[in-house]
């Protein structure tokens, strides 16, 4: 448990550090290298368009990241009379009050609260993912993946121009790291260039991981399931996939796709207000 709590603190700091390094490299290294003569650069030049695209992706990724943290899943345990001395975990297991547990609820020991439609605990946000912040979490994964892949392309263009090498051969990227390490220790490669090369592989790994996680999460949403339900083997009521999507993304899904907006309220809160 101590290791998990430590990871819950280190992982968000690691993500913010990688985001800051990516932003600095893009704005102060990659994009300026695309300008040959700034005085004669047209308004819609590839460099300016790339800069605008990167800022759009970064703003959406960081905006949804903040909303995932702010839109924490509500603590259902506060509204329940668990009895004096009762543990929330025991209540959910049914040992204290059989039949009183709400469906799709889970007690997270790291967050110390009961959440509805619990999916998983995300260490990179230090928060549980549930009904209130699922859409923001998926948008965060999507735009993080796109921002990393965009940085990968810009970094490859920068390395190609700096080292006068071509990536036309698919094997060139696979052999870039071992070849660069040998050149770095022989003194033929600068430390700044080696750092950019290492970041290329980091962006590729993060981008593919976020893209795969986003696709897997969307597949579960289409089925009306959460990762917690799949892990516990819980049976869910079959519903049309459109209803499952609307429950997570809401009717104004297009707005949430373009700009970071807060997720819809959970179905538990709507039922409680009625």
Active site residues: 122
Q: Which of 216, 210, 246, 261 shows the shortest CA–CA distance to 64?
A: 261
* Integer Cα distance of 89 and 100 in angstroms: 13
Tell me the three-class secondary structure of 30-43, residue by residue: HHHHHCCCHHHCCC
Whole-angstrom distance, CA of residue 156 vs CA of residue 119? 36
Contacts of 4 (CB under 8 A, 6+ apart): 110, 123
Alpha helices in the chain (DSSP H): 2-25, 31-34, 46-70, 88-93, 134-163, 170-174, 176-185, 191-223, 227-232, 241-249, 253-258, 267-273
Rounded CA-CA distance 5/81 in Å is 28
The pair of structure tokens assigned to 170 is: 């698919």
Quick one: which of 156, 165, 246, 235 has its CA closest to 203? Answer: 156
Place of tokens 């209803």: 243
């Amino acid at each position: 448990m101590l290791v998990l709590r430590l990871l819950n603190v280190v992982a968000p700091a690691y993500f913010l550090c990688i985001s800051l390094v990516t932003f600095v490299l893009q704005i102060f290294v990659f994009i300026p290298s695309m300008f040959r003569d700034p005085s004669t650069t047209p308004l819609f030049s590839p460099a300016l368009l790339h800069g605008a695209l990167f800022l759009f992706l970064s703003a959406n990724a960081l905006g949804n990241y903040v909303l995932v943290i702010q839109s924490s899943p509500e603590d259902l345990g506060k509204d329940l009379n668990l009895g004096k001395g009762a543990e929330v975990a025991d209540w959910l297991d049914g040992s204290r009050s059989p039949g009183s547990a709400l469906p799709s609820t889970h007690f997270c020991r790291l967050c110390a609260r009961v959440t509805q439609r619990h999916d998983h605990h995300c260490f990179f946000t230090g928060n549980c993912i549930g009904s209130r912040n699922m859409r923001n979490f998926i948008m965060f994964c999507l735009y993080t993946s796109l921002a990393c892949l965009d940085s990968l392309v810009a970094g490859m263009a920068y390395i190609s121009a700096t080292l006068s090498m071509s990536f036309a051969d698919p094997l060139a990227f696979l052999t870039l790291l071992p070849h660069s390490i040998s050149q770095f220790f022989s003194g033929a490669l600068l430390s700044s260039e080696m750092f950019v090369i290492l970041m290329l592989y980091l962006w590729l790994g993060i981008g593919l991981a976020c893209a795969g996680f986003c696709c897997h999460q969307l597949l579960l949403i289409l089925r009306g399931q959460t990762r917690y339900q799949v892990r516990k083997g819980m049976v869910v009521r079959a519903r049309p996939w459109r209803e499952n999507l609307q429950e997570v993304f809401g009717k104004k899904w297009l707005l949430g796709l373009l700009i970071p907006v807060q997720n819809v309220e959970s179905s538990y809160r709507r039922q409680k207000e009625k």
